[in-house]
């Protein structure tokens, strides 16, 4: 019985470690890997103590928290290193003069604020009083009239900016 639980937990741990793909952030990868490894270790320790399931659950929770914190820390370090590298590259570009005093800007996405008119006009049924138009009498009647209205809707759009010199 315990061997089956341990094997199942180890399979889950292996799958969680192997499926941490490129689409995930470091925090997500660390959480998944920590949960898998924590569950495996917890199941092993729990089996020795007499309750492999409880050990796996506790190990998965502790591993997920630890892995998430470690992954977040690694993400922050990587982002800081990338920013420092970009600053160094920009400074070297300014000093080299190879771009004739221009700064090279790498291709990137930018968010641009845009506006569009949202038309909320509606037709309204209005009573028109009886009137005389020249020598012709027009009786009272209902008319459908357009009541113009609307507002500007502001939104952001993500656009691609190609590499260029400033």
* Cβ(147)–Cβ(119) below 8 Å: no
Does the pLDDT at position 88 exceed 60?
yes
The pLDDT of residue 128: 92
* Cβ(16)–Cβ(29) below 8 Å: no
**pTM score, two decimals?**
0.41
Residues 12-63 pLDDT 10s: 666 665 555 556 777 788 888 888 888 888 888 887 888 878 888 888 888 8
The count of other CB atoms within 10 Å of the CB of residue 45 is 15
Give me the chain's average pLDDT, please: 82
Could you state, in order of their start, the residue ranges of all structural domains in the chain?
Answer: 2-96, 106-165
Does the pLDDT at position 7 exceed 90?
no
């Amino acid at each position: 019985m315990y061997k089956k639980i341990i094997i199942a937990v180890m399979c889950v741990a292996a799958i969680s470690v192997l499926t941490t793909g490129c689409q995930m952030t470091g925090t997500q990868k660390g959480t998944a890997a920590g949960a898998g490894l924590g569950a495996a270790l917890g199941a092993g320790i729990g089996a020795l103590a007499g309750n492999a399931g409880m050990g796996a659950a506790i190990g998965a929770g502790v591993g997920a928290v630890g892995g998430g914190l470690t992954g977040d820390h690694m993400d922050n370090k990587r982002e800081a290193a990338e920013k420092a590298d970009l600053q160094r590259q920009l400074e070297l570009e300014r000093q080299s003069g190879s771009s004739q005093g221009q700064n090279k800007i790498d291709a990137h996405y930018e968010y641009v604020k845009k506006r569009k008119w949202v038309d909320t006009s509606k037709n309204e049924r209005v009573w028109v009083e009886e009137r005389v138009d020249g020598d012709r009498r027009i009786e009272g009647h209902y008319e459908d009239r357009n009541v113009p209205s609307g507002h500007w809707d502001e939104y952001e759009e993500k656009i691609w900016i190609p590499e260029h010199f400033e």
